[in-house]
Amino acid sequence: MKTFIPFYDVKKYPHEVIVMDAHHPQGFDLSHWRGAPVPEGCEADTSTEIVLKAIEKDIPELNKSYVTNNHYDIDGFLGVWALFNPQLALKHKNLLIEIAQIADFREIDFKNSEWRKALKIVCLLNEEEARLFYPPFGAPEIAEKEMEACVPKYHYFLEAFTEMIQNEEKIKETEEYKCVIAQLEQNIQRKTISDIKMQLVEAKEPLHYYSLYAGSNHADMVMSLYSGNRYELEYKYTTWVTTTRKHFPRLNLQLLCDRLNRMENSKRTWKAEHFTDTAPILRLEGERLSKKERYSSPTARPIYPSSIAPELFKKECISYFREFYRDLSLGETLDWKELRRVNEEIFAKSSNVKI
């Protein structure tokens, strides 16, 4: 019998806790977080799939009595749920892998026969989370930390998801699901630039993340171009965690912002988060977006028009990454110390770039 405990209680049960989708030196990690050790033979892209492989291998550490996570998201939750329901999890392995990939990476694998069902479940879980608790990165101020505020979510969804997975009629089509499906049916132009692992997406209006990133499994970045010279460029979360995919090291985007700002004639400024952020977005700024606002889809935030023409914007961004990636190699996810060293070497001559 397993018990879910708050993350800060790991120290009460040293070496007796499975840590899902996070890292703790006194716990046993089942996580794709950068730096978290993965059991041999359990390597996978999402934490959920790591757990499923661990269950299949029946590793002895699964006998630990306690489970925790320092945050709630669907990938982390599914891993926790699978630990509580191992046989049911293996029965629905294909579906769980797709749910985790959509929720964590915003990618839809159209080759997965259950992608529509997975998308429905992700959107339904999103709706229930916001309705009953709070949306991602929206923890109430009364809670000191997400690791405390997320605990009731786990207690609720551990029971609710079991009912959902066993009763098809409970999987309803939400407005979010209908929005994503409608956008997927639009004439959206998608192009992958393989040598820099960038996906270009052109659409009339801003897209929901699940439709924007759909089919971007082979890309590390997504450049979105909307009508009226509105643009964003974002490093995907897949380059923040450890996956089985090989990618270029993340680059500091400050120098690219500087180049764009010299071309920009509007009153706004190009900015981007630091490369250590979970998903840095290069965009024209108005008021600075909160983490909650950045995590929400582009449809929920303002995207301002630029004075830079679309073809020039694409050319400048693509040439930036080609300039620096030509001397780098695709490889495994580097630890943060090594990633900083790589960026220090690349931008050593630029006084405007703070590493």
Structural domain includes residue 351: no
Count the domains in the chain: 2
Q: Could you count the other beta carbons within 10 Å of the beta carbon of residue 349?
A: 6
In tens, the pLDDT along 307-333 reads 999 999 999 999 999 999 998 999 999
Closest CA to 75 of 114, 30, 109, 39: 30
Q: Is residue 301 part of a domain?
A: yes
Residue 355 in any domain: the answer is no
Domain end: 124, 148, 178, which one? Answer: 178
Render pLDDT for 80-137 as a digit per residue (tens, 0 to 9): 999 999 999 999 999 999 999 999 999 999 999 999 999 999 999 999 999 999 998 8
Note whether 229 and 174 are same-domain residues: no
Task: In whole angstroms, give the CA distance from residue 285 to residue 270.
Answer: 6
Do 56 and 165 lie in one domain? The reply is: yes
136: burial class by Cβ within 10 Å (0-12, 13-18, 19+)?
A: middle
Rounded Cα–Cα distance for residues 283 and 66 (Å): 42
Do 203 and 334 reside in the same domain of the chain? Answer: yes
pLDDT band at 290 (very low <50, low <70, confident <90, very high): confident
pTM of the model: 0.95
The 10 Å Cβ neighbour count of residue 347 is 18
- Could you give the strand order of the β-sheet that contains 28-30, starting from the edge strand earlier in sequence? 3-4, 66-68, 17-20, 28-30
Coil, helix or strand at residue 65: coil
Higher-confidence residue: 302 or 139?
302
Local confidence band at 144 (pLDDT 50, 70, 90 cut-offs): low
Residues 99 and 240 reside in one and the same domain = no
pLDDT, tens digit, for every residue of 5-41?
Answer: 999 999 999 999 999 999 999 999 999 999 899 999 9
| 270 domain residue, yes or no | yes
Is 108 buried (19+), middle (13-18) or exposed (0-12) by CB count in 10 A? Answer: buried
Flag whether pLDDT at 232 surpasses 90: yes
Q: Work out the average pLDDT over 171-188.
A: 96
Same domain, 14 and 99: yes
Residue 354 falls within a domain, yes or no? no
- Domain hosting residue 55, numbered range: 3-178
**83 and 193 belong to one structural domain:** no
Assigned token pair, 114: 């259950």
> Per-residue confidence at 142, pLDDT binned at 50, 70, 90?
low
Computed over every residue of the chain, the mean pLDDT equals 95
Gyration radius (Cα) of the chain, Å: 21
Asked if residue 289 has pLDDT above 90, the reply is no
Residues 221, 161 share a domain: no
Residue 209 covered by a domain: yes
In a domain, 268, yes or no: yes
